[in-house]
Each structure stands twice: as structure tokens, then as C-alpha cells.
Amino acid sequence: MSDVAVTERSRVRRGRKIASYDRETIYHILDEAWVCHIGVSVADEAIVQPTSHWRIGDELFIHGSVKNALFQQVLKGQTACISLCILDGLVFARSAYHHSVNFRSVVLYGKGRLVEAPNEKRAALNTMLEKYSLGRSSEARPANDTEMKVTAVFAFPIEEVSAKIRTGGPNEEPEDRALDVWAGVKPVSIEVGELIAD
């Protein structure tokens, strides 16, 4: 796949060397992460809330209560900022300054499209279930009309978006390499355990 177009807003300024606009890279990060943080502006201040997300093609989906206050800004057509970060490691350098983390993050700007067509809405929510467990959408009792009605689903175009990816060991000043200080990476991973049956 190719790069997404880079806009003035989505262009990475700090850490350009670790920036990526590669669509496939961005999709992988979005698909692996369980939680994103969505922000909107209200009266010149930001509101940021965590929420689950999932991807279908070139759109990122979130859902929630139709009464969610943050969603009202999305419905008004305000561009939201969706940001997420997968932590991959704690990076220990020989100098305090060069301590860092390995991570893969995405920042996306976009206007949310309210998914209203019943078939599309149901298909979207089913895709979320499939992210949690393959085949789940055909196992669980389908949502009834009331349950569908109180759930709002939004789709955001994955267009104005960038990723940042840090990997590898610590950066060091050349003169610090000889210091007798332990250094390296402690890998961080998210583990999903076995089902504890209800």
C-alpha cells in the first residue's frame, strides 16, 4: 500500500525520523490496539475520553451511548482527534536523558460519520465483536431494536493520519558508552489470558 497524504496538521514535527505515513503500517497499529483516546474541543478546551475502536477498510469505528456528550461535537461536524499508543518497551540508557520508550502510536484527525443504515450499523458492530473473538458475531444473541437504537456508531476516515514508531535500544552519547551503567530494553507486551467462564 501507499502513504496517506500528509497535511499541515497531520505532519509529524517532533520525532520526524520515527514518523510513518504508510497506510499498511497505520492499519496494523490500529488493528492491534484495543483502546484509543478521542478528543474534541468544547469552549476552547479539549475533552478526551478513552474508548474501544475497530477498523473496516479505510475507516476507523467507535461506538457508545447516543447520549455521550463528546459525541455531540462529532455530530455537529467538528473534526475530532483520535490518538492511541501501544507501548512496546522501556528503554534504559546509560544517561538519564536518553531513557525512552519503544512504542507505536497513531494520531488521526477526522470528522465522524454517524452510521445510520441498519445493515451497515449491524455489520460494523459485528466487526467489533470479531476483533474481540473470531466468530463471536454469529455466536452471541444479536442486538434487538432497542439495543441498536441506544448505540451510536461513528466512522472516521483514515486519511489525515500519522504514526510514530520507536524500536531498538537506547540512543547514547558516544562518551557515555564506556560508563559502567546497565542499559537495554525491557520489552512490554499486552497479554490476553484464557477465558474465565461466567
| Closest distance of CB 2 from a copy of itself, Å | 25
Neighbour count for residue 150 (Cβ, 10 Å): 11
Q: At 104, is the secondary structure helix, strand, or coil? A: strand
Cβ proximity of 39 and 52 under 8 Å:
no
Instruction: Select 34 or 113, whichever has its Cβ closest to a copy of itself.
Output: 34
Contact between 127 and a copy of itself (CB under 8 A)?
no
Looking up cell 451497515 gives 120
Residue 131 CA to residue 174 CA, distance in Å, equals 45
Interface mask toward a copy of itself for 77-116; x: CB under 8 A: -xxxxxxxx-x--x-xxxxxx-x-x-x-x-x-x-------
Contact between 21 and a copy of itself (CB under 8 A)?
no
Instruction: Select 2 or 178, whichever has its Cβ closest to a copy of itself.
Output: 178
Q: Please tell me the number of Cα atoms within 13 Å of 176 on its side-chain side.
A: 15
25, 39, 130, 157: residue in contact with a copy of itself (rule CB under 8 A): 39
Q: Which three cell numbers stand for residue 107?
A: 494520531
Interface mask toward a copy of itself for 136-175; x: CB under 8 A: xx-xxxxxx--x---x-----------------xx-----
